[in-house]
């Protein structure tokens, strides 16, 4: 082989080797994924917060409504005025209610008089019954005497009759004895008739007394009914004057003097005349989503911002949590729960009804490892029979036990785990499951399986969705420098 041929062969080999190297580098470059990373750091304080909107209200307030209908004749107060408990707030025309009270009073007096008259009649009847009962005792004694006299007269008559038959006495003596016998017999019958009449009279008197007692009970019931009507009418008459039930400020006044007050009803919200509120304790009533309400507890600290006072932040404390969702128009809508935050130092500029936003601190952790929320992802990975994940060995020469099990399809399950992609020394991304804690505004606590100063993938979002375990990565230096700034 000539020297020229050897030169051309050597040159061809060099060119071929260069092409192979360039192709290999291009292939590796194509398999490399550009990622954004962050270094795991320890955070001094991490707060988990729940944000919700709502409005300002007074802790204690009352919507005053009239219980009677009528024209408002006096209204000595105005909106924004401070009032004390017992102050007269308004008067309603009392002519009708006073007339009804007088009519109820007259009806009560009439029924009471009738009841008293019946009571006197019963007393008189009972006295008469006592006299009749005494007379009955006397009649029974007289009957007993008449029976004794009759028996004596009968015996005497029989003796006289026997003597007359024997011819020992004259006819005149016999007839005298006979007349005495008949006379005692007549008196006995008269006493018996009197006794029967007296017993019937007493029975009638007792029945009359029982009837009058029944009538008396009915009259007493009528008196009670009239008394109840009188109480109702008197109460209605008193309600023509409305007094303040508490100390506070009139935050809303819906009626004017001369307008008609109507009784308060559920279907008539216009019946509210005014609202009185105790502004010494101000609260923010928030609507918290059902997914966040489980994290809120009584005593949690909160900060409230009022739209009307954008430069002010009010500290508060959760003092009430609703147990049932706030009514919604559809069962398909997301449910909100009421959470009440009591402000510690409310401003005198606050007014009930103002819109506000509250941030409730549900949990606080100190000296914790935290990562950006977007760095946390999830993957379906293979776990052993105990549900534990073992990082697979991606080397072709040394397959892990799980990989071998996967090839034989024995004792291998799929499970979705949360984790992060950690950048190892040879610039590849390895998926590592982690245990998380509380979630802050932009960071989440890591409890297990991640150390401080480790570098993890934090973006982009599309990259975190599609990147695979063991993928070669290239760090976006410009983006990393921008994030560190």
Query: Encoding tokens for residue 225?
Result: 């009914």
Is-contact 50 303, C-beta < 8 A? no
pLDDT of residue 394: 72
What would the mean pLDDT of 15-23 be, rounded to a whole number? 60
pLDDT of 350 strictly over 80:
yes
Band the pLDDT of 406: cuts 50, 70, 90: very low
String of DSSP letters for 382-407: EE-TTS-B------SSS--HHHHHHH
At 16, the pLDDT band (50, 70, 90 cuts) reads low
Range with the poorest average pLDDT among 7-11, 116-120, 250-254, 299-303:
7-11
400 phi and psi, to 5 degrees? Answer: -75, 170
- Of 156-170, 205-219, 264-278, the one with minimum mean pLDDT is 264-278
Question: For tokens 């921008």, what's the residue?
Answer: 482
Whole-number pLDDT of residue 271: 82
pLDDT above 70 for 81 = yes
pLDDT at position 27 is: 46
* Omega within 30 of 0 (cis) for the link into 430: no
pLDDT value, residue 478: 62
pLDDT tens track for 313-327:
999 999 999 998 887
Residue 125's pLDDT is 87
pLDDT at 6: 62
- Point out the least confidently predicted range of 60-64, 141-145, 352-356, 476-480: 476-480
What's the pLDDT at 29? 47
Residue 409's CB is within 10 A of a number of other CB atoms, namely 7
Which ranges in the chain are annotated with CATH 1.10.287.620?
Answer: 96-238
Q: How far apart are CA 200 and CA 479, in angstroms?
A: 122
pLDDT in tens, 360-388: 999 999 999 999 999 999 998 888 888 78
Give one word for 235, left, alpha or beta, with left for phi > 0 and alpha for psi -120 to 50: alpha
Residue 48: predicted pLDDT: 92
Q: Average pLDDT, whole number, for the chain? A: 85
Give the closest residue to 265 by CA, choosing from 38, 95, 467, 69: 69
The residues that bridge with 339 in the sheet, in sequence order, are 286, 321
Q: Where in the chain is the domain with CATH 2.40.420.20?
A: 31-44+370-484
Distances (CA, A) of 80 to 60, 72, 77: 16, 20, 9
Q: pLDDT tens for residues 50-67?
A: 999 999 999 998 988 888
Per-residue model confidence as pLDDT tens digits over 182-239: 888 888 898 888 889 888 998 998 899 899 899 989 999 999 999 999 999 998 889 8
* C-alpha distance from residue 69 to each of 91, 97, 262, 461 (Å): 11, 10, 5, 67
Report the CATH fold assignment for 96-238: Helix Hairpins (1.10.287)
CA distance 343 to 285: 11
* Token code pair at residue 368: 């914790």
In whole angstroms, what is the distance from residue 401 CA to residue 393 CA? 9
What's the full length of the chain, in residues? 485
What letters, b where the CB count within 10 A reaches 16 and e where it falls short, cover 248-277?
A: bbbbbbebeeeeebbebeeeeeebebbbbb
The structure's pTM equals 0.62
| pLDDT above 50 (res 481) | no
* From the candidate CATH numbers 3.40.470.10, 2.40.420.20, 2.60.40.10, 3.30.70.260, the one assigned to the domain spanning 31-44+370-484: 2.40.420.20
Task: Answer with the residue of higher pLDDT: 49 or 331.
Answer: 49
Return d(Cα 198, Cα 136) in angstroms, integer: 6
**pLDDT attached to residue 436:** 93
- CA separation for the pair 271, 24 (Å, rounded): 85
Question: Of 455, 398, 396, which is closest to residue 429 (Cα–Cα)?
Answer: 455
Q: Give 42's pLDDT tier (boundaries 50, 70, 90).
A: very high
pLDDT reading at 398 higher than 50 = no
pLDDT at 68: 87
What's the pLDDT tens digit per position in 420-468?
999 998 889 999 999 999 998 889 999 999 999 999 999 888 889 999 9
Radius of gyration over alpha carbons of the chain, in Å? 54
Query: Which carries the bigger pLDDT value, residue 403 or residue 209?
Result: 209
Report the range of poorest mean pLDDT among 110-119, 169-178, 272-281, 394-403: 394-403
Residue 317 in contact with residue 356, Cβ under 8 Å?
A: no
Contacts of 180 (CB under 8 A, 6+ apart): 153, 156, 157
Here the tokens at position 149 are 């006299």
């Amino acid at each position: 082989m000539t020297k020229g041929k050897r030169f051309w062969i050597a040159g061809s080999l060099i060119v071929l080797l260069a092409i192979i190297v360039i192709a290999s580098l291009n292939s590796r470059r194509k398999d490399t994924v550009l990622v954004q990373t962050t270094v795991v750091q320890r955070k001094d304080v991490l707060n988990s917060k729940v944000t919700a909107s709502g409005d300002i209200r007074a802790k204690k307030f009352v919507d005053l409504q009239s219980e009677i209908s009528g024209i408002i004749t006096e209204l000595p107060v105005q909106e924004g005025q401070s009032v004390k408990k017992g102050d007269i707030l308004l008067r309603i025309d009392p002519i009708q209610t006073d007339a009804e009270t007088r009519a109820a009073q007259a009806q009560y007096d009439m029924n009471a008089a009738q009841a008293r008259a019946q009571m006197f009649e019963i007393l008189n009847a009972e006295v008469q019954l006592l006299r009749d009962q005494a007379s009955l005792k006397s009649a029974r004694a007289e009957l007993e005497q008449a029976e004794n006299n009759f028996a004596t007269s009968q015996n005497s008559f029989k003796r006289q009759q026997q003597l007359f038959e024997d011819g020992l006495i004259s006819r005149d003596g016999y007839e005298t004895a006979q007349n005495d016998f008949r006379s005692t017999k007549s008196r006995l019958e008269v006493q018996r008739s009197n006794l029967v009449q007296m017993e019937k009279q007493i029975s009638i008197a007792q029945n009359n007394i029982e009837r009058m007692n029944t009538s008396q009970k009915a009259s007493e019931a009528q008196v009670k009914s009239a008394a109840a009507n009188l109480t109702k009418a008197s109460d209605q008459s008193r309600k023509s004057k409305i007094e303040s039930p508490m100390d506070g400020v009139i935050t809303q006044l819906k009626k004017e003097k001369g307008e008609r007050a109507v009784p308060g009803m559920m279907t008539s919200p216009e019946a509210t005349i005014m609202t009185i509120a105790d502004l010494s304790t101000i609260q923010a009533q928030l609507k918290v989503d059902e997914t966040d309400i489980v994290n809120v507890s009584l005593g949690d600290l909160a900060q409230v911002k009022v739209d009307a006072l954008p430069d002010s932040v009010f500290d508060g404390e959760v003092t009430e949590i609703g147990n049932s969702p706030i009514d919604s128009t559809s069962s398909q809508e997301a449910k909100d729960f009421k959470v009440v935050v009591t402000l510690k130092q409310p401003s005198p500029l606050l007014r009930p009804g103002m819109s506000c936003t509250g941030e409730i601190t549900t949990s606080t952790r100190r000296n914790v490892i935290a990562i950006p929320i977007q760095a946390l992802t999830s993957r379906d990975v293979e776990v052993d029979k105990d549900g534990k994940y073992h990082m697979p060995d991606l080397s072709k020469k040394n397959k892990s036990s799980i990989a071998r099990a996967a090839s034989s399809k024995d004792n291998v399950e799929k499970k979705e785990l949360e984790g992060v992609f950690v950048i190892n020394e040879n610039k590849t991304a390895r998926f590592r499951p982690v245990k998380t804690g509380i979630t802050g505004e932009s960071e989440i606590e890591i409890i297990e399986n991640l150390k401080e100063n480790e570098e993890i993938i934090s973006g982009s979002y599309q990259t975190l969705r599609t990147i695979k375990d063991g993928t070669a990565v290239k760090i976006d230096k410009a983006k990393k420098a921008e994030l560190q700034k």
